[in-house]
Structure 1
């Protein structure tokens, strides 16, 4: 859905990520993985509901799902962040990153690699990755997770500030979403409200000049979120990474150059 009275929104597009999606080694690995999965497909389809069968077939045919298995990412959403970062260089060695809605941890995996929070390269500055989610997240070298924590809770904010060096972050990432109710407008409104909470939280933790990348579902309140972001960030872009399925209403706002002074 589009907001009434508003013209068509321009969306940034991407080419396939060079480092992650191309190269002979990647192709051989993915082809082998895909071949094995396709051979197993008839057995794995047995006993599934029609919707479950459709989901499995889609996963088997999805190049990003295959790539996530080949590269040991926890889920295909890692490639959404990889695409964004390959183009806009949001994540750099030494930066402090707060990953909201971190489960199952794929975005944190990318962040750990890009900011060098595991100290893999001793010649580069070592960053920090802190994730938070209502769900449990399996441990990850280079990241600290606050599991079973609500990002809207003031106690959670205090704990996050204790974990972040100087209680500040350079980048806030959010791929979080509410549990689907089946009512698109209601789910859209809930997700927009969650994103607005991140803007309020930015006043407490985000450094001036910092960045915020957040997922939202397109709908009647998208313009409200964009206006709030534009009020405190110097640049706001709407993105639709290729790893985000075309039929999905999922979009991302990349807001950069945070300019509101921290209290």
Structure 2
């Protein structure tokens, strides 16, 4: 199913939503013009505005969760690299952390990022905090009910340097830190989703996940741009030691 059909089927958007909006590009650099044109022609950007998601990345998590059913009412979830909060919006809805569904269990959501994360109902955010810092990890464990999480999400990424392999290695290192943390806090049979950029170190990360989870899948969501090397590992059924 292509991206447009996915949106229309799952989000009930009309064709009018996808029409390109004219914009005055005078005075913009060629790079800025390309970015603006890409944004204007991107149906997921438009759908994010329609559905009040903070950015288009929300649809990546929606697709992953629709396929694997990771987020359930009553679950405790950690969102790593949460800013600006689009994944947290999806997670809060699906785990019922706001408590808007009186017939379901109420979940708990905590997000962490080096950047400031705007407040969100149903989420506790640790802004300007480094997940790799032991003090941050201690605070996360303190906040979690019973000190454990059912699902860990990571959409973290380093600032791109323009050197693809270097950026890839940095992101793999960040993912490995998330895996280290997951081993400390994830509940038995829990799940982990982490973004990575394809490259020479991906196998190292995949092998590490395969050692502690009973199932590891590689996913390229339809909402992930085709030209991007972005992929996601979806690891399920954590083997708690």
Q: TM-score, normalised by structure 2?
A: 0.95
The CA distance in 1 between the partners of 2:10 and 2:155, in whole Å, is 31
The CA distance in 1 between the partners of 2:4 and 2:29, in whole Å, is 35
Q: TM-score, normalised by structure 1?
A: 0.87
Correspondence for 1:201 among 157, 178, 181:
181
The CA distance in 2 between the partners of 1:141 and 1:211, in whole Å, is 24
**Which runs of 5 or more structure 2 residues have no equivalent in the other structure?**
none
Query: Are the aligned partners of 2:213 and 2:239 in contact in 1 as well (CA < 8 Å)?
Result: yes
- Are residues 1:132 and 2:121 paired? no
Query: Are the aligned partners of 2:4 and 2:43 in contact in 1 as well (CA < 8 Å)?
Result: no
Report the alpha carbon displacement of residue 163 of structure 1 after superposing the two structures with TM.
1.2
- Are residues 1:78 and 2:64 paired? no
- Are residues 1:108 and 2:66 paired? no
Q: CA 1:23–1:196 in structure 2 vs 1: closer, same or farther (change >3 Å)?
A: closer
Q: CA 1:60–1:202 in structure 2 vs 1: closer, same or farther (change >3 Å)?
A: same
Q: CA 1:109–1:221 in structure 2 vs 1: closer, same or farther (change >3 Å)?
A: same
Report the alpha carbon displacement of residue 23 of structure 1 after superposing the two structures with TM.
5.6
Question: Once superposed, what is the RMSD of the aligned Cα atoms?
Answer: 1.9
**Which runs of 5 or more structure 1 residues have no equivalent in the other structure?**
1-13
Q: How does 1:1-263 map to 2 (within 5 A)?
A: 21-22=7-8, 26-28=12-14, 31-32=16-17, 34-35=18-19, 38-39=21-22, 41=23, 43=24, 45-261=25-241
Q: CA 1:163–1:24 in structure 2 vs 1: closer, same or farther (change >3 Å)?
A: closer
The CA distance in 2 between the partners of 1:24 and 1:102, in whole Å, is 24
Query: Are the aligned partners of 2:189 and 2:240 in contact in 1 as well (CA < 8 Å)?
Result: no
String of CA shifts for 1:117-136, please: whole Å, max 9, x gaps: 00010110000110000000
Using CA pairs below 8 Å that are at least 6 residues apart, which structure has the higher relative contact order? 1
